[in-house]
Every structure is written in C-alpha cells, then in structure tokens.
Amino acid sequence: MCGPEKVDPVGAESRGPGRERLRSSGKIKMATEVPARMHILRSKAPLRMSFAGGGTDVSPYPEERGGAVLNCTIDKFAYCTLEYDLGESGPASVESLDFDQKIRYEMPSDLVYNGELDLAKAALKVLLPNAGNHGISDRLHLFLHSDAPAGTGLGGSSAMCVALVGALQRYLREPVTSYEVAELAYRIEREELRLKGGRQDQYTAAFGGFNFMEFERDRTIVNPLKIQPDVLNELAYRLLLCYTGTVHSSEQIIERQQRNYTERKADTVEALDATKQLAIEMKNELLRGNLDQMGRLLDTGWQFKKKFTEGISNPQVDRLYARAREAGALGGKLLGAGGGGYILLFCDFERRANVEKAVVAAGGRVSTFSLELNGLQTWGVRASPGSLI
C-alpha cells in the first residue's frame, strides 16, 4: 500500500459520530429514518503515537527477551456502527464509508479473505460465527470509518479491530475487560488473518491514555502513567505531527525485522535491546517532567530503529527529518513500522514555528491533534420510529 497521498488523512474534517457523514461515490448521504425494530450500537477506539520501544513487541523478541513500549493515544479514532433488526433474520452486511466498499453474506462460509474488508470478516467469524440467514435471529449491518487510513503509522488497523470487538461484544452483552478486548483483537489480526505486527496497538486502543507496556512470553502488563496535567499540556504543545505524504505497508518491513532477529544479526538484536532500554529511560524522564531530555531521546530511538532492518526510512523521510532538525527540533521519529506515514517531532517553544515552516517547505503537512486519555468506548443510540441518525 505504498505511493503518494495528496491529502492529509488526519487533517481532514472529522467524521465523528455526532455528525456522521456517509460517503458513496463522492456524495454525502443525509441522515435517514430509523425503522421501528432497528437497534443501533456504536464504538470508537483511539489511534496512537509510540514514543519508544516499538518493535520490541513483535514476536519472537518479547517471548525470548521481553519487550517494553511507551505510547499514548490521540484524539483521532476508528469508528464502528452496528445496526441490527431485532428478530428479523436475513443477510448480514459490512460497509466501509471511507473506501465505498460493501459486502453481504448469508453464511460464515461466504466470508472469504480477499483484501476487501477482511478485518470485519475476521471479527465476525471469530465473534459471531453464526451470523447470517441461518444463524442468529437478528439481521446485522456494520458501518466502518476512520480518521486515518491504515499505513500511516498511527495504529489505525488495530484501532478498527478494537472498535469492531467493542461493538460486537456489546451486541452480545458479554462484559469484557480491556485486556480481553486487546487479546481478542490480537487474535483476529495476528492469528485469524495472520497479519504481521506486534501487540502494542491492540492494547493501546483498548486502554487509551499514556501507558508503559511490558510484553513477556505469556502475558502483557499495561502500566497507566500518572502524569501531572502541566507536564501533559506542555508535552502536547511541544509535539508536531507531520504527514510525510506517503503511506506504507508494514508487512514486509516487519517480516524482514523478524528474519534478522531470528538469524541473530548483531545490528538488529543490539538495536532492539537498546530500544527496550530507551523506553524505560524515556518513561522515567517523562515522569520526572524532563521533557527536553525526552525529546533528545526520541532522536536516539530513531537512530536505533533504522538499524532494525532496511526500508524503515526513505529519502523523503530523511529530508523532512533533516530540515526539522536544522530548524531546531530536539528529536523525533517516524511512527509505525516505517517506510512512510507520520513523523513525530519534539520542539522548543522558541523554535516550534520555524520547525513547522521547515517541514511544510520540505513537502510535509502538519496535523493538529490533542492527547486522548480514554480507550475504547461503546454506547447505544436510542432509535424510535421517525428518529434520525
């Protein structure tokens, strides 16, 4: 999924549930009346920024040496709406409002993984194996959309998977913990679909907020960090989120990283070990309020990350980062597995404006964001004849 992207997917107008915009063939559908027997559930899961430790959550490294990641969520979300007609059997459907894709099926055997809405298909197979004409008695309709597409380094695919789990578990009326939601999402992505990746994204979207995560062979530990509001506000003010203009496909990058590690290539193993230790150091600096040192450590971590495998950076990323550093950024890193997407930059107050100008001049786009302290949220919508959604 590589190639130029002409617009900033996060900078686009929000399509939150309060004013959901249904897009089809470039046109916006207006709100529609709700049938008398229709019930509506919604969920949203936040996207994330990883500060340090990314890559140490990718198997088999955490099982053998233990991984550690410092990350937080931002106010960009993946959304899922589940409409169901109570007591009316019939084909189930899934629709992506971002990509104008739609599937209908009557039996789980109809759900073939072919690159179209596979995440939703896998979630339905795992959580609702009997959905369709000959299964559960309710007719289901799923609608999906996101504030950022996959391939931008913000954990969008896993956030969507967590949103799907949240909506479907609420429909089933099965109470689950944040740990259970994350593990279900991991099972859907990594085991059912066999997608390459780590564990941090599912846990980050499920828990939300600022977390220090530890990954071991048989368990994951999420440590929520209690950070003073003054420190959080100052940190958010000093961060710049810059879109590089390209998206990435993380599968090949992660596969090469895994191969390098299993072959015990020294550069990869040493860089992963150093990245894990850096996550611990950065967490400690953050808790002490030493933000300048945290910014410098971002640069250190970026240099380690580029040693995981080839293809993590590219000339466009290198040029943007170099211009930002020349303009005064203390540090930064490419978010996600690498190859494109978003760069996170840390700036002094005095140099922030200059850094932003330098990034834009180099072809980047700066996106506004706020830190988000909530994880997965689900809710019901009161639907009555004639009401609008």
Q: What is the DSSP letter of 341?
A: S
Instruction: Specify the residue for token string 């109470």.
Output: 175
**Close Cβ partners of 97 (under 8 Å, ≥ 6 residues apart):** 15, 21, 22, 23, 143, 144, 145
User: For residues 209 and 193, what is the distance between their CA atoms, to the nearest angstrom?
Assistant: 27
20 with 389: CB under 8 angstroms? Answer: yes
197 with 61: CB under 8 angstroms? Answer: no
Selecting among 8, 118, 147, 201, the annotated active-site residue is: 201
Question: Would you give the end-to-end CA distance of the chain in angstroms?
Answer: 33
Angstrom CA distances, 300 to 235, 326, 338, stand at: 18, 16, 16
User: For residues 77 and 63, what is the distance between their CA atoms, to the nearest angstrom?
Assistant: 30
344 with 146: CB under 8 angstroms? Answer: no
User: For residues 5 and 247, what is the distance between their CA atoms, to the nearest angstrom?
Assistant: 7
57 with 199: CB under 8 angstroms? Answer: yes
Longest dimension (CA), the chain: 65
- Reading the block at residue 136, the tokens are 């559960």
Residue 138 designated active-site:
no
Catalytic center residues = 201
